[in-house]
């Protein structure tokens, strides 16, 4: 497809001439929404994110210059049968020589992403910043253990410690999640907590907890945001985080050993204004800015 844009892909950071080893980030799309429980469409997000990535500028909102960093876009990993094909994602993430930025897809794609990160940092304490309306701690959903409602449950099973998981933005629960939420040891900050305490206090508390980890993966479901800011998603949940909350949260992760980001559940067919796609792009570029500021130190 012919692409128009004011910049190269990923705000000019993408360099087609380099290998992952030479680049700071690998971008990987996982165009799969077969395990979303309600409205589908997230499979189309990687293409839309790439398309509009030519219209973002290589600066963060605080004018951090991003162009000294480089992105190698490895394209998509196609998933037909998740039971077997998720292994391609796990393997790719486990063996990357640089930092992954993964584009979902429904949240189920984060199961092999977390598994891959667990393998890559196997002798280290791996923490997860989970930004989502939902804890995704179901054991089984719609007859599947790989459902997008089971992601963090699987993560805990393959060895991520509950006390190294911080969940923020939560506001919707399934019966089978209540015990693990209340007694399982994961750190929970609901969307209401953020509204009442303020994002800065919540972010400081999360920073202090994750500071004990050696490696931190961020998994961000776009439905963490209130539907006012990001309507184009499978299950919009009223009463969510603001755009500013999410940007402040990202910025406050500065100084932590970040090792990757996934952004999931953007559903372009449900996003006629494409504001949700642009929200995802902003989050990715501001994440890159956190790494850029770290490198400038």
Shortest gap between Cβ of 267 and Mn ion (angstroms)? 12
Taking the CB of residue 195, how many other CB atoms lie within 10 A of it? 15
Under rule CB under 5 A, how many of the chain's residues touch Mn ion? 5
- Give the total residue count for the chain: 297
Among 12, 76, 177, 221, binds Mn ion (CB under 5 A): 221
CB of 264 to Mn ion, least distance (A): 8
223 touching Mn ion, by CB under 5 A: yes
Determine the interface stretch with Mn ion among 32-40, 43-51, 163-171, 218-226 (rule: CB under 5 A).
218-226
| C-alpha to C-alpha distances, 262 to 49, 128, 281, nearest whole angstrom | 13, 11, 12
Sign of CA dihedral 222, 225, 230, 232: positive
Decide: is 193 part of the binding site for Mn ion (CB under 5 A): no
232 to 261: interface string for Mn ion, x by CB under 5 A: ------------------------------
Nearer to Mn ion, 71 or 235 (CB): 235
**Of all helices (H) and strands (E), which one includes residue 292?**
helix 275-296
Helix axes 243-251, 199-210, angle to 10 degrees: 30
Q: What are the residues facing 190 on neighbouring strands? A: 170
Which positions from 112 to 141 touch Mn ion by CB under 5 A, shown as an x/- string? Answer: --------------------xxx-------
Asked whether the beta carbons of 26 and 101 are under 8 A apart, the reply is yes
Contact status: 177 vs Mn ion (CB under 5 A) = no
Q: Which residues bind Mn ion (CB under 5 A)?
A: 132-134, 221, 223
């Amino acid at each position: 497809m012919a692409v128009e844009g004011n910049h190269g892909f990923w705000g000019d950071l993408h360099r087609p001439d380099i290998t992952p080893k030479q680049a700071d980030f690998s971008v990987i799309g996982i165009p799969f929404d077969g395990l979303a429980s309600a409205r589908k469409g997230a499979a189309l997000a990687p293409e839309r994110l790439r398309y509009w990535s030519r219209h973002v500028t290589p600066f963060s909102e605080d004018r951090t210059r991003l162009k000294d960093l480089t992105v190698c876009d490895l394209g998509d990993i196609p998933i037909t049968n998740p039971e077997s094909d998720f292994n391609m994602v796990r393997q790719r993430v486990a063996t990357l020589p640089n930092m992954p930025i993964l584009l979902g897809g429904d949240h189920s794609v984060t199961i092999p992403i977390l598994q891959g990160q667990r393998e890559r940092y196997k002798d280290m304490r791996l923490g997860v910043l989970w930004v989502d309306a939902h804890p995704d701690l179901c054991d089984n959903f719609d007859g599947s253990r790989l459902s997008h409602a089971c992601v963090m449950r699987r993560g805990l099973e393959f060895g991520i410690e509950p006390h190294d998981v911080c969940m923020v933005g939560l506001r919707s629960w399934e019966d089978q999640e209540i015990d693990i939420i209340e007694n399982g040891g994961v750190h929970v900050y609901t969307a209401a907590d953020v509204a009442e305490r303020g994002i800065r206090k919540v972010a400081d508390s999360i920073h202090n907890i994750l500071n004990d980890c050696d490696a931190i993966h961020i998994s961000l479901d776009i439905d963490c945001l209130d539907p006012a800011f990001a309507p184009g998603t499978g299950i919009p949940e009223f009463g969510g985080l603001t755009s500013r909350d999410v940007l402040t949260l990202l910025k406050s992760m500065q100084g932590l050993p970040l090792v990757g980001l996934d952004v999931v559940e953007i559903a372009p067919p449900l996003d006629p204004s494409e504001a949700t796609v642009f929200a995802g792009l902003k989050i990715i570029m501001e994440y890159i800015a956190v790494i850029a500021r770290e490198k400038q130190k």
